[in-house]
A and B are shown apart, each in its own frame.
Chain A
């Protein structure tokens, strides 16, 4: 009996940490999709860029994992800001299909560039000694790395929430989200707010991509391979809702992890079944935004 319980606890931690990583990767997309109204199929490629830059910093520049992580995130934010100011300007006024084609084109280009630089093989960032190993509580084994991912993403999500609720920038963003025209009227520089938000979203994706390499390993086709997963998290959560993304990422993370363990015959099938069921019951996602 205790054995069953400890397995369940281990799976729960795995599932929740997987879900939190999904949340980090997809939270930026829910803003670009729901708020800036851009179908951004390049988003998961930013997670890959963050992962690869961190990988390069640790393996070639010889930096420590914890030093490389923020640098990788910052570099990705810079890249995303440049792209947002240039290429994305072309499609802001275009129809969703145009945006879809353009951003998938960008994903193709990024994939090709990464393949040329880093090679086609699957890679992951080797963890520092502090994160290797297991934590044994009673009969339950919990990997330290999973706990680290869990703690980091809870901290980031908390920080995000504090920033949105209690800072001037957060207030401006919420105003721009609720009513862009009115926000502009009271003197908020809406495009600038969105640019910064876009960069932060891509930075979070980069963080998720970099810390999540043990769960979603890096490869040039990362951007296309996990795009479906990221889009699903956003759609299930409700486009434009941060809280919804959190719920759906956690739900899907736990369902996927538990499903693969308890019903291995169905494998990756369960998560899509869950998605279909949720979307049929709530076509606008778990937390539908009003208006």
Chain B
């Protein structure tokens, strides 16, 4: 065994997980942001949180073919559970993430029972109804959630006991990035494992997959639960970093935003979620500072043009460029 073959082994193992140039560029972008864009770290943390959220939706929508207009339900549940956990049990952040993931996963498991029995429009409506139901529930249970005012006043102790959340958002950004890398690695593993592959099969042709002996409902249910848990992690991150959880974490606007992000980035590719989150969050931050009304108009026009001319989003466009490069 010489050095050369060691490098080959590493390369092969990376290749087996199907990591590529895009992933390397994204890591580079994160590192550069940390060292050279200190003033924007808070915004970058939002991008990372939204990327996790969009990734979770990509798992359900892009791979499982489950259409959702209510994914904010899980984001909000995760955010509220993390905040309540910090407030009443412990301010330790990592266990907070786990608790949020579990609670959101359970909500996904239960709502999946209703949502996954249906398809198409009814499915969209059911996801929407679940999210709205939770929103109204949070609004009604003012004693627990503080209603419109939002849940505040909880502290988060340093990550691993060392890294305190600083005012510049350095810890928050790195913490979010680490969580993102873990989530991404998990999803990468998942979508290339048998469950991810059968999910794609179910998305393309459920009848055929059933005939091949795949337990269609159970596979989708597992996938939907994982997706919900990951959305809960994103919500918990947002709660821990911003120290406030409001009703907007459950709102239709957030559900619609994440669908838009994924469409901008491109579905069924995982890294589309990164592009979408970066483009959407950065643009909306800049545009909202300049002119919130016309930003909405611009977003609308962009959406119409995307559907018309680039239905696969930015990721599809990048993939096409890559394919052209390979052919040359």
Q: Give me the interface of A with B, judged by CB distance under 8 Å.
A: 33, 39, 87, 90-91, 94, 96-102, 104-113, 115-116, 224, 227-228, 231-232, 234-235, 239, 265-269, 272-273, 275-276, 279-280, 283-285
Contacts and interface: CB of A to CB of B under 8 A. Distances in A.
B24 interface: no
B260 A101 contact: yes
B129 A272 contact: yes
Contacts of B299: 105, 108
Given A235-B122, A269-B133, A224 B139 contact: no
Interface stretch (B29-37, B42-50, B80-88, B289-297): B289-297
A105 B122 contact: no
A267 B140 contact: yes
Contact of B293 (A104, A110, A116): A116
Interface stretch (B12-20, B168-176, B251-259, B317-325): B251-259
Contacts of A94: 307, 311
B144 to A, nearest CB: 14
Interface in B108-146: 114, 117-118, 120-122, 124-126, 128-130, 132-133, 136-137, 139-140
A119 to B, nearest CB: 10
Nearest to B311: A98
Contacts of A106: 300, 304
Contact of B129 (A87, A104, A276): A276
B192 to A, nearest CB: 24
B307 A39 contact: no
16 contacts: A90-B304, A96-B124, A100-B124, A101-B307, A104-B300, A108-B299, A108-B300, A109-B297, A111-B296, A115-B296, A228-B252, A267-B136, A269-B133, A269-B140, A272-B129, A283-B122
B58 interface: no
Nearest to A236: B125
B250 to A, nearest CB: 12
B98 to A, nearest CB: 28
Given A227-B252, A228-B128, 11 more contacts: A39-B121, A39-B124, A91-B307, A96-B124, A100-B259, A108-B297, A109-B300, A224-B252, A269-B136, A272-B136, A279-B118
Contacts, number: 126
Interface residues of B, number: 42
Interface of B: 61, 67, 69, 114, 117-118, 120-122, 124-126, 128-130, 132-133, 136-137, 139-140, 252-253, 256, 259-260, 263, 267, 293-294, 296-297, 299-304, 306-308, 311
Given A112-B297, A112-B300, A235-B121, A265 B140 contact: yes
Nearest to B136: A269
Nearest to A109: B300
A272 B139 contact: no
B304 A97 contact: no
Contact of A101 (B120, B139, B259): B259
B307 A109 contact: no
Given A33-B121, A269-B140, A279-B129, A102 B303 contact: yes
Contacts of A33: 121
Contact of B307 (A90, A265, A275): A90
A100 B137 CA distance: 27
Given A94-B311, A101-B303, A275 B129 contact: yes
A224 B136 contact: no
A271 to B, nearest CB: 8
A87 B303 CA distance: 12
Contact of A108 (B122, B296, B306): B296
